[in-house]
Structure 1
């Protein structure tokens, strides 16, 4: 099976660098709406069997133009949400952003027992994301393609662990709003990373170079761009 893991469009908290990881989360900015509107044309070469989103508003809004264009529903699935920031939720100071990123990197290097400050450890994240993906795979044939609109940190970490990327390669992954990872395989035989598209699917003109996009950037880059604490 082929999974197209698409990150949601831009939100106000992506612009200011806040760790917005709770449900329902922020809506899209005007740029985020434009990014979402560009997805159907960008994915025109894929025969999409189904479109999935998380319980967060931003993923559902991002998935809607594609689903509407293909005559499909947006299926909301628990378990695909962003990695919780725990005690760091909605903070944007460099120390908090750095702690969040350092925890993600530790998981990518195999230290799944390390907890997010005031939040879950890597085992808990991987278990719930694996379960959600497994349920999706069970509904499709081996030749199907499904689009899953999810979140920056969740896509990066799950891809790294599921595709067996080495720690440094995984830590260097970046994914801007409406960037995409393409994975092929299944839970039994394993997953292979077939494509990593770090920029917006609609093209570079839809990227916001001035945003402090902490869940889509590498941990090092995010921590080097401090913004006022929220």
Structure 2
């Protein structure tokens, strides 16, 4: 045998064994940064809405809040009666003063010295001459119609041209505060007068001519209670 032939040998060498690797799962993609801002805003808003809805009357928790009924006048009265408290008495309205005379129109001749009028009688007495006890004279001795208190007592008080009819007490107070003894007059003028026996009169001039028949609307009350 020739030495050129290679000696017999074993099988050819195989490459080293490498175990197969398991496939790797794909990495999840990261959400964009703006998504975290949206989540941070939405969660508080949803929580606020849930709080509001739960707090509303008749919400889904099944409980209904009922307001207490407003007490009426009758129920309040019944409650007071049940507690032994009497109901308040109704306010008594003041009754108007009862006049002894009038209001009624009284005629008086105003020519020259005029007419003397007595108001302490059941009805006014009018005289065209000096009358003892007269309370007022309605005349035009100086040319202009006027009212004059005999004896010049401060018993005549003018009132504003407009206003409510005074009471006896108000007239008496007007005389006390602003009494005089004479005043020129014209239609529509108003006066309070205190008689020499303490009666109170309210006079409204209806007509006041320099000559002829003048007219006074007269109301007379008894002496006011002190």
TM-score by length of 1: 0.20
Greater Rg over alpha carbons, structure: 2
Instruction: From the two aligned structures, give the one with the greater strand fraction.
Output: 2
